[in-house]
Structure 1
């Protein structure tokens, strides 16, 4: 299913100069914030959890997911260059699967790794905070990549829709409306982080089993539907 040629082209598109600047900006901000907080506040487990939960997981991970997920396929569909790829003897589900793997890898690299480093800067991984939020960032990267790859496949406004979901639904509504939290990738990921710390330092509105099932279901369904939409995309001259 994995196609190295498609992967190479997708990496090149995602890590081009403009997108790479944005991808490096958010992790850089997290590390600067972590260093400043540690310098002025010292090592504090609760503060570390607040920084990693409030900025890393709630803001950085979904935004990088938007950039990587939609950028893996959206621009090719928008400018029509996808027809050159679809005209090659490559199965369309293979294209989606490969682009998803690339989007996940990029999202993990630019979100989970900086989260782990920031956690150590903040409190030296006291009470497993750095590991917990790194696990949350890793699993959230998978679900976000699948969701935003699907958006890039079905809509020309995928980036806008993705930003609305990440910043309005999860960050705003999720902090104000209890019911919205249960439909939040962030909360599902927090359930795994809560399991790692296991002491009440990190809490989630969703139980662990429910969170795992929802994360898996969203990833599988979004990937399948993206593949379905690409399979039904007609090239010029196709009947």
Structure 2
């Protein structure tokens, strides 16, 4: 492994990720130095909030255009640190967001040997040229890697039947009943399964950084790029790699 140190930035508004378990998980697998730090936005410089505001998305069907934030939007960025569910559903261009985060990492830690993994409740998205619209993303790979806890909930789709029932029985009361009917079939905010799911995304971010290989097409593999919640739960809770990635993973850790 070219990575000799992994730094994880916590997202304390989502205690279900169990940051101490994630730290131990990575140490046990890679036998490398793993450090946990506070949330990236905690006690951040005013400049960071200002720049993050510029990455907001306002047009879902248009490529990114840098936003000039208002004072109230910058203030909202500060206030949203304690918002575990991103209740405003503010969208951010994932690649712009990643670029901004990288600028605020100390210069002496911007090297190939140190991989930064930033956990955040901010909803990162990328623009898809195939259908000319933005889509929510759970992971923005590279260094630093961004794992969106909100993206994990919102990006992979829930069962088709769930959406059909919502369309035909839409009301606050019925929505709660429908959620209860499909309970367990998709992740919810503060879901106890989040810690295991985040482990999988951390593995994806590390392997992508080490090998340049993005995701897997095999639904049985922990590196699978799930588009549905059912696929996400299956691929991550089974805790397995496909035969191809099992070999590459063993080769990777043998040099760690």
The structure whose RCO (Cα within 8 Å, separation 6+) is larger is 1
TM-score by length of 1: 0.31
Q: Which has the higher helix share?
A: 1
Q: Which has the higher strand share?
A: 2
